[in-house]
C-alpha cells in the first residue's frame, strides 16, 4: 500500500515542490523568522501565483492550531518525517530542532506543519485532477480560481463558502454565489479588488497602499479594518457593515459625495439601476429621500446609515451571521428570502403562485437541511411545495 502510494504521489509531490520558495517563505513568516525583504518577495510571488492562496490559508490554519509539546507529538513528528522520506521528500530539519525543549523546537513544528500540509494538498491535488479528467471538477469544487492575463478571479458556487488570503495577507471570507477579482499589479500601488456578491474583509493596515473595493454601485476605501460588503447583482440594495476601523464610501454616479462609516454602522444604498434616474442634489446629507420609483406604495431610503443589528438571545451580528453558518432573516418577503435560500442551499426556487411572494417572514436557519427549513417556514405561513431534483416549486396550500 505504501509503495503504491509512493509511486502515485511522487510525481505530484515533485510538481508541488516546484513552489519550494513560496513554501519556505510561508514557513518563515509563520515562525516569525522572515526578513522584510523576504516578506516583499513572498507578496510578489503570491501575486504571480493566485492559485496558491487557498492552500496557503490551509497551512496557516494548521499552524495556528495549538499543538501540545508531548512525547506523543514528538513521536508523531518522527513517524511523519520517516514517511515523507519514503515518499522522496526531505524535510531538511535543522539539527538544533531535533531535541525536545531546544530553541529550535518551534522550527521543527514549522517544518512539520508545512510539510504535512504540502503532502495533504498534493494528495488533494491528485484527487482534483482525477475529477477534472472525469468531467466532474466544476460540480465538486467549492470554489473556482482563474488566472488569465493580468487578472485573477476567485468565485464560489451556490451552497458553498470559502476563505482566502490575498498577496498582502489580507483575509477574505467569500459567501456563496460570490466573485472576487483583482489585477496582478495588486499591492504595487493601491490595493484594488472588485466584488460581486458578499464578502467579509480583514484588511492588513498599510497607509502607503490603501485598500479599495469596487462594487456595481459604490467604491469602498480603507487603510486597515474589518467589515462586510453585500452587493449581489440580483438584489436591490448594497450593504456595507463596519465591524472595526473606518471606511470611506463613494458612489459611482456621484463621485464627489462620500460617507465615512464608524464602527457598528451600516450603509444601505439602492443599486445603480435605481440610482441612475436620480438628479436630486444634497441627497446624502438628508439620507431619507424616497426610492425612485416607489416600491408597492412603501417609501424606502435611497441611502441610509444605521447601526448593525444584533440577535437578542446571543448577540450575533446579523450582517455577518453567514460566517457562523447562520441564515438570519427579519421581516423579509418570501421572494427576498427565496433568493438567499437559493444561494445558501445551492438550489432553485420557483413560485407557482405570485401571491405568496410578498408574505413577510422572520427566523434563523443554522444546521437545518433544505426540507427542515421549508417545513419550519410552513409553521409561519401556509404554503405547499414539491421538489424536482434541484428545484423547489412553492404554491398556495
Has residue 146 got a pLDDT over 50?
yes
Parse the chain into domains and list their residue ranges: 2-140, 143-307, 325-395
Site of grid cell 504595487: 188
Give backbone dihedrals phi and psi of 85, rounded to 5 degrees, phi first: -65, -40
Could you read off the pLDDT of 226-250 as tens digits, one per residue?
999 999 988 888 999 999 999 999 9
What single DSSP character describes residue 201? E
Of residues 143 and 240, more confidently modeled: 240
> Which residues 6+ apart lie within 8 Å of 199 measured at CB?
172, 173, 174, 175, 178, 180, 228, 229
Could you say which of 2.60.40.10, 3.50.50.60, 2.60.120.1440, 3.40.50.300 is the CATH number of the domain covering 143-307? 2.60.120.1440
Confidence bin at 32 (pLDDT 50/70/90): confident
Which residue, 258, 257, 259, 268, is CA-closest to 307?
268
> Which residues 6+ apart lie within 8 Å of 9 measured at CB?
87, 119, 122, 123, 126
**Residue 70 burial (C-beta neighbours within 10 Å; 0-12, 13-18, 19+):** exposed
In angstroms, the CA 296 to CA 180 distance is 34
What single DSSP character describes residue 273? H
Give backbone dihedrals phi and psi of 271, rounded to 5 degrees, phi first: -65, 165
Could you read off the pLDDT of 364-378 as tens digits, one per residue?
999 899 999 999 999
Of residues 139 and 175, more confidently modeled: 175
Q: What is the DSSP secondary-structure string of 167-185?
A: TT--EEEE-TT-EEEEETT
In three-state form (DSSP H/G/I as H, E/B as E, the rest C), the secondary structure along 124-164 is: HHHHHHHHHHCCCHHHHCCEEEEEECCEEEEEECCCCCEEE
Global pTM value: 0.63
Other C-beta atoms lying within 10 Å of the C-beta of residue 396: 11
In angstroms, the CA 327 to CA 318 distance is 9
Q: What is the CATH number of domain 325-395?
A: 3.55.50.30
Amino acid at each position: 500500500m505504501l509503495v503504491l502510494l509512493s509511486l502515485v504521489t511522487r510525481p505530484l509531490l515533485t510538481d508541488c515542490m516546484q513552489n519550494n520558495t513560496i513554501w519556505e517563505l510561508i514557513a518563515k513568516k509563520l515562525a516569525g523568522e522572515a526578513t522584510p525583504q523576504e516578506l516583499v518577495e513572498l507578496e510578489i510571488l503570491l501575486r504571480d501565483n493566485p492559485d496558491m492562496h487557498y492552500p496557503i490559508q490551509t497551512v496557516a490554519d494548521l499552524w495556528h492550531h495549538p499543538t501540545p509539546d508531548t512525547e506523543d507529538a514528538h513521536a508523531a513528528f518522527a513517524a511523519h518525517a520517516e514517511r515523507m522520506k519514503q515518499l522522496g521528500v526531505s524535510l531538511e530539519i535543522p539539527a538544533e530542532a531535533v531535541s525536545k525543549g531546544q530553541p529550535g523546537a518551534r522550527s521543527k513544528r514549522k517544518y512539520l506543519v508545512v510539510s504535512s500540509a504540502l503532502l495533504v494538498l498534493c494528495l488533494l491535488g491528485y484527487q482534483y485532477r482525477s475529477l477534472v479528467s472525469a468531467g466532474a471538477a466544476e460540480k465538486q469544487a467549492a470554489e473556482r480560481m482563474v488566472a488569465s492575463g493580468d487578472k485573477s478571479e476567485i468565485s464560489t458556487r451556490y451552497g458553498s463558502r470559502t476563505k482566502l488570503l490575498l498577496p498582502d495577507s489580507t483575509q477574505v471570507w467569500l459567501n456563496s454565489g460570490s466573485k472576487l477579482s483583482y489585477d496582478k499589479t495588486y499591492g504595487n500601488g493601491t490595493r484594488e479588488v472588485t466584488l460581486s456578491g458578499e464578502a467579509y474583509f480583514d484588511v492588513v493596515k498599510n497607509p502607503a497602499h490603501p485598500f479599495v473595493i469596487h462594487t456595481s454601485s459604490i467604491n469602498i476605501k480603507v487603510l486597515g479594518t474589518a467589515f462586510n460588503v453585500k452587493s449581489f447583482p440580483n438584489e436591490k440594495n448594497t450593504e456595507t457593515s463596519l465591524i472595526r476601523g473606518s471606511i470611506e464610501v463613494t458612489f459611482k454616479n456621484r463621485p464627489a459625495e462620500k460617507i465615512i462609516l464608524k464602527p457598528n454602522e451600516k450603509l444601505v444604498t439602492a443599486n445603480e439601476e435605481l440610482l441612475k434616474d436620480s438628479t436630486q442634489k444634497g441627497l446624502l446629507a438628508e439620507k431619507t429621500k424616497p426610492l425612485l420609483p416607489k416600491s408597492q406604495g412603501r417609501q424606502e431610503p435611497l441611502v441610509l446609515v444605521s447601526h448593525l443589528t444584533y440577535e437578542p438571545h446571543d448577540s450575533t451580528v446579523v450582517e455577518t451571521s453567514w460566517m457562523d453558518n447562520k441564515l438570519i432573516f427579519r421581516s423579509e418577503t418570501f421572494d427576498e428570502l427565496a433568493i438567499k435560500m437559493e444561494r445558501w442551499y445551492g438550489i432553485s426556487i420557483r413560485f407557482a403562485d405570485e401571491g405568496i411572494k410578498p408574505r413577510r417572514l422572520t427566523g434563523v436557519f443554522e444546521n437545518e437541511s433544505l426540507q427542515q427549513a421549508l417545513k419550519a417556514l410552513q409553521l409561519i405561513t401556509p404554503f405547499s411545495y414539491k421538489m424536482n431534483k434541484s428545484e423547489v416549486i412553492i404554491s398556495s396550500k
